[in-house]
A = this chain, B = another copy of it.
Amino acid sequence: MSITSVSGTVPNTDRIEDLPEDGATTPSGIDTAELGAILLGRWPEARKAARERAKDPRFHSQYNQSFQQQRETTFQQLQLLRDAGPAKMGVPDYVGGTLNPGANLSAFEELVLADPSLQIKSGVQWGLFGSAVLNLGTKEHHLRWLPGILDLEIPGVFAMTEIGHGSDVSSIGTTATYLPETDEFEIHTPFKAAWKDYLGNAAVHGKAAAVFAQLIVKGVNHGVHCLYVPLRDDDGNFLPGVGGEDDGRKGGLNGIDNGRLHFDHVRVPRFNLLDRYGAVDENGEYSSPIPSPGRRFFTMIGTLVQGRVSLDGAAVIANQAALSIAVRYAEQRRQFTTDSDIREQTLLDYQRHQRRLIPRIAETYAMTFAHQQLLDKFHEVFSGEDDSDGNRQELETLAAAFKSLSTWSALDTLQEAREACGGAGFMAKNRLVELRADLDVYVTFEGDNTVLLQLVAKRLLNDYSAEFKNADIGVMARYVADRATEAGFNRSGLRKLTQAFSDSGDARKSVNALRDPDAQRALLTDRVQTMVGDVADELRAVARKSRTEQAEAFNRNQHKLIEAARSHGRLLQWEAFTAGLEKVQDPDTKRVLTWLRDLFGLSLIEADLHWYLAYGRLSMRRGRALEEYVNRLIARLRPYSLQLVDSFGLSPELLRAEIGGTVEAERQAEAEEYYRHLRASGDAPVKEAKPAKDPGAQTRGHHA
């Protein structure tokens, strides 16, 4: 029988009319106080204090200026922020700090609610420039420079990226050559592609820079190291040998003065090498506590992971803000009558509108819990609670996975929210457009997202190979057996397949079975394992072939590998959401959040449904029923949408969106009252005849 016949579709009568009721009554609502407290994470006081600060109008974005003016405004705001003192949490006691990395980043992330430019300007100064001195230098460097960095006497530049080498840092062209005759280093830019670029504080304010360069000692290149290099005198003029260009206007973050720098045989004292991981002594001898140049490089780079961690956190907050605005508006805004001639429907009653917003609420909860895990791990490593190699490596993998997923999600969610608010969404006074413009570059800086996912993929492949590194024979057989017996990956977070998922082919039974978290986990895990395994096989097949053939094989699988890494990150988010559920006490809240987690899981499966079908993980029948099932789960969550976004705890002073308040509801009420009065008074004009209600044909939207 042909599949195109009616029976091949999902007939009306075979619909999943009811979601299973969990044997309980419908939750009356969410305990937003309890949930809100959980969402604040491990350092709630730091977050709350930062939110209070973010309400202060002196810290708010000032967009309606030339980019030159914006830079000055932001710099002044940074000085106010310095006086508020949050950066102290990031440094040790001997320079006046408290070294609480988790609290420090919690506060930093919330700054995005005041102004993304201010956030990133402070991130450049204290998070990048300051952290380079802190993490790559020693106590002597800290004592010499950190006080001036903290109090903004030394506005600084983190000079790593070059025009010609953004993602491939190990190939940068700038050199730092040791000169034994004067006991100095000479910093030099040998060609234009080696100019440092996109550097915050470089165009105007920077007085010094942490410059990454190839360290050359006695004719040997010891690889990339970092040096402290003065840039400008007190009048803001470049010092001899230093030059640069202004990057000019950008797509956002125009409060930051990005620019280029180059060096023409600029000399600095030997002391200026930040030498925690690689030093040159007074005899011109190089030494390092890490003998392997590769491992040394990765260790140095790894100390800078906090940028990724905090961008992940800022992206989570941006999602929360976007959905707080769009859901509030969608709850108030009415358009088109459907089942009543008089009262129009709210936007959030429309299925499509629900589809646009509610799965993104689920994703945002997953991101929030995932970020909490990431931040906890960051604190473990950088506070010294657990700074083992394994934990550092897991931190880097999590940061790469979560930062790429969340910063892309922020752009997508801000855009969807803006479109879901129609013309109102495009107005700056409703906040969404400028927030999106500022966050655009978050997907590129601190590691381009596409490259970061390749880092995740590499780790997955490495873990995979480790399983077989002693299996000289019978590798393929073992591989099949491993998959069948559900052995697998553990090391970089790939969870065990807890239960094989078998698809019975009965749509009703088996679609409902997808609400079993073990089934969701099994499906999500299986996809990652299978994809990584497939690529590993292909790469193993060329392992003894030429370098060109190996490179070609890798490139042929690049797309698949990146997709596998993305799916891995999604699985980790799902795991974090599932773990987060355990923190919830209130039973109604827990039930609603469990539905939300299910929606997240099923949305992930829906997004890759082609794969689950093509690889026989789901039957065609279930594949056809899934969309309908997701729709019903969304409809079930619809009544709780407002409470779910209220739990983010973002007050009107933090959202600062006109439509984020009650203005739309008031307008609707006034119009309804007008028509009610008109009907009651008998003055209403008779309609000539009722025009057909055709939402499509009637629309023009708004006009420019």
Contacts and interface: CB of A to CB of B under 8 A. Distances in A.
Interface string A609-647: 110011111001001100100010000000000000000
A190 to B, nearest CB: 5
Contacts of A248: 427-429
A562 interface: yes
A64 interface: yes
A615 B164 CA distance: 49
Interface stretch (A95-103, A135-143, A250-258, A584-592): A250-258
A223 to B, nearest CB: 6
Contacts of A79: none
A56 to B, nearest CB: 21
Nearest to A635: B556
A704 B339 contact: no
A692 to B, nearest CB: 4
Contact of A451 (B293, B450, B699, B703): B699
A667 interface: yes
Given A538-B12, A698-B168, A701-B446, A689 B293 contact: yes
A674 B214 CA distance: 15
A4 B526 contact: yes
Given A445-B704, A483-B4, A614-B613, A691 B293 contact: yes
A411 interface: yes
A286 B170 CA distance: 79
A687 B199 contact: no
A163 interface: yes
A699 B455 contact: yes
A contact face: mostly helix, strand, loop, or mixed:
helix
Interface centre among A8, A64, A426, A534 (most CB of B within 10 A): A426
Contacts of A405: none
B418 A200 contact: no
Interface stretch (A22-30, A32-40, A321-329, A349-357): A349-357
Contact of A422 (B166, B446, B558): B166
Contact of A667 (B163, B479, B614): B163
Contact of A250 (B165, B426, B610): B426
A50 to B, nearest CB: 19
Interface residues on A, range: 35 or more
A668 interface: yes
Nearest to A613: B613
Nearest to A678: B190
A652 to B, nearest CB: 18
Contact of A338 (B121, B555, B693): B555
Contacts of A400: 696
Contact of A335 (B167, B253, B256): B167
A541 interface: yes
Contact of A63 (B2, B167, B249, B562): B249
Nearest to A562: B352
A696 B396 CA distance: 11
Interface stretch (A363-371, A433-441, A464-472): A433-441
Interface stretch (A144-152, A231-239, A294-302, A573-581): A294-302
A168 B695 contact: yes
B458 A694 contact: yes
Nearest to A13: B541
Contacts of A160: 700, 702-703
Contacts of A120: 704
Nearest to A167: B699
Interface string A298-322: 1001001001000000000000000
Interface in A480-521: 480, 483-484
Contact of A704 (B190, B253, B556, B685): B253
Interface string A220-262: 1111000000000000000000000001111111001010000
A223 B688 CA distance: 8
Contacts of A2: 484
Contacts of A685: 214, 216, 219-221
A154 interface: no
Nearest to A534: B9
Contacts of A428: 248-251
Interface in A197-215: 197-200, 214
Contacts of A344: 168, 171
A67 interface: yes
A686 B537 CA distance: 36
A158 interface: yes
13 contacts: A4-B616, A120-B704, A160-B703, A167-B698, A167-B700, A168-B344, A247-B427, A250-B428, A355-B559, A437-B437, A441-B704, A457-B696, A458-B695
Given A10-B534, A223-B688, 7 more contacts: A3-B615, A63-B249, A165-B335, A351-B555, A446-B703, A452-B699, A610-B610
